[in-house]
Amino acid sequence: MDLSTVKERAGPRQFGPTDEMPREYREAATRMIQFHANSEIMGAYIERPFIRQAPSLDRKLAVSAQVQDEIGHGQLLYRAAENLGVKTREEMLDELAAGEGKFLNCFHYPLDSWYELPMIMFFVDGAAMRRQASLKRTSWEPYAHAIDKICFEEGFHIKHGEDILRELATGTRRDQEQLQEAFETWWPRILQFFGPTDDQSTHNDFSQEVGLKTMSNDQLRNAFLNAYLPKAEKYGLKIPEYPRVEYHENRDHYEVYEEDLDWDEFFTVARNELPTGRGQIEKRRRSQDAVEWVRSAIESTPSGGETPAAAD
Amino acid sequence: MIFEVFRQETEKDYHTHVGNVHAPDAEMARLFAQVAHARRKPAKSLWVVPKAEIAEVDADDPGVAMGGTTQKEYRWATNYSTGQMAEEIEASEAEQAEAESTRRRAGEDRRRGGDD
């Protein structure tokens, strides 16, 4: 299939492993799915310490279930990326361990206290869910298939995150202050979740033309802010004045002041050069090394060798 | 010889156990399976497996611990009351509620002991 045919036929779940796809499509899809898979894995590593630190047994169980889910999502996604034929799962895991794999900006920052957890589990995961829901209509069918299962589970994570948020927001004054502080720290990062605005984004046009993405960064950010800012206010969180966000009722549109956000830092993060992010990558590499013996045991089993079907 | 038959309806479905056939060899088994399980109903593919090749772990066997008996409400979206949510979260929760009621119905069918 040549690129113009791809653009013509692009639509929800239009292409799969039996289609002969052009190199550009396979590379763009691999970049996108690999990024998503890496983010699931690195997100799990951010949340993992809170299995121990959770203040109650119920919370421990739920955080632990959440971490398991994220790792599972990562595996599903590597599989969906693998059958594009650009990179093997091994290569993608090695890239992540070597600090070459890209992942979501928010997972490069340290998470020091329980008060910060809802910033990830509610706001960041909520933003991710908004994006994932739009990907049920992506043109690469194995990706959409993986997204089905991811969306099925993700609702629990966000509601659990909101439950923690509510608990802290209705707690002591000290709880509320610390929560507000965490919100202020995370606010600019949350705004940067969807990347630069449409006029600055490099990969957006191509991904939309071939149906990999179905909504632009701006559209997604608007939908997210529309649904989540009222929630923040409901729990008494004050939206920081800076970086500025303004709501234009006539266009139902949030204007984010791009110049208020630190894009130098954003791109430092994107290049995996933030010290805390490097620490996270290193931690992940050590974990991967530690279980190398499991992988080699599986690979030396005679029944191996057959590639399982796409995301199931 | 008994062969168990698993039918996949469309490309996106799992193979589901639909019954078995008696046949002298694998080739005949495939043929019988086609006639018995894919002639009327739509099918994308069939797996035809010698019964002896299917390993079974039975919940009644000593030393076997299966899941499903532990309280796991903490892991479902339906268990957290957070009020109105973004539409994609509502959709996810609806899927979980649907899965839960399917599980419950299946449980009741099993207890009634039959597929009548």
For residue A278, which of A113, A51, A128, A101 has the smallest C-alpha distance? Answer: A101
A21 CB-near residues (< 8 Å, 6+ apart): A1, A6, A15, A29, A84
Q: What is the pLDDT of residues A26-61, one digit of tens each?
A: 999 999 999 999 999 999 999 999 999 999 999 999
CA A287 to chain centre: 21
CA distance B12 to chain A (A): 9
Q: Is A51 exposed, middle or buried (0-12, 13-18, 19+ CB in 10 A)?
A: middle
From A155, A163, A312, residue closest to B89, measured CB to CB: A155
DSSP 3-state of B58: coil
Query: Average pLDDT of chain A?
Result: 91
What are the chain A neighbours of B89 within 8 Å (beta carbons)?
Answer: 126, 129, 155, 158-159
pLDDT value for B113: 56
Question: Which pLDDT band, with edges at 50, 70 and 90, does A259 fall under?
Answer: confident
Question: Which pLDDT band, with edges at 50, 70 and 90, does A253 fall under?
Answer: confident
DSSP 3-state of A66: helix
A159·B14 Cβ contact <8 A: no
Q: Please give the residue that has the higher pLDDT: either B102 or A133.
A: A133
What are the chain B neighbours of A151 within 8 Å (beta carbons)?
Answer: 88, 91-92, 95
Asked if A158 is an interface residue toward chain B (Cβ–Cβ < 8 A), one would say: yes
From B76, B87, B88, residue closest to A156, measured CB to CB: B76
pLDDT value for A303: 57
A152·B99 Cβ contact <8 A: yes
pLDDT value for B41: 86
B88·A133 Cβ contact <8 A: yes
CA distance A133 to chain B (A): 6
pLDDT value for A304: 47
Q: What is the pLDDT of residues B67-80, one digit of tens each?
A: 777 778 888 888 88
CA distances from A2 to A21, A23, A31, A143, A156 (A): 7, 9, 20, 21, 41
**Torsion angle, alpha carbons of B39, B45, B51, B57, to 10:** -130
DSSP 3-state of B16: strand
Question: Which pLDDT band, with edges at 50, 70 and 90, does A310 fall under?
Answer: very low
Q: Is A72 exposed, middle or buried (0-12, 13-18, 19+ CB in 10 A)?
A: middle
CA distances from A98 to A21, A185, A285, A289 (A): 29, 29, 7, 12
- Mean pLDDT for B2-7 is 96
Kindly provide the ipTM of the predicted complex, given to two decimals.
0.72
Lowest mean pLDDT among A9-18, A148-157, A217-226, B72-81: B72-81
Beta pairing partners, A248: A253
- Could you say which DSSP state residue B57 is in? -
Q: What is the pLDDT of residues A86-144, one digit of tens each?
A: 999 999 999 999 999 999 999 999 899 999 999 999 999 999 999 999 999 999 999 99
From A61, A155, A166, residue closest to B92, measured CB to CB: A155
CA distances from B74 to A56, A63, A120, A287, B84 (A): 12, 9, 19, 27, 19
Q: Given a cut of 80, is residue B110 above it in pLDDT?
A: no
Beta pairing partners, B4: B20, B49
What are the chain A neighbours of B76 within 8 Å (beta carbons)?
Answer: 156
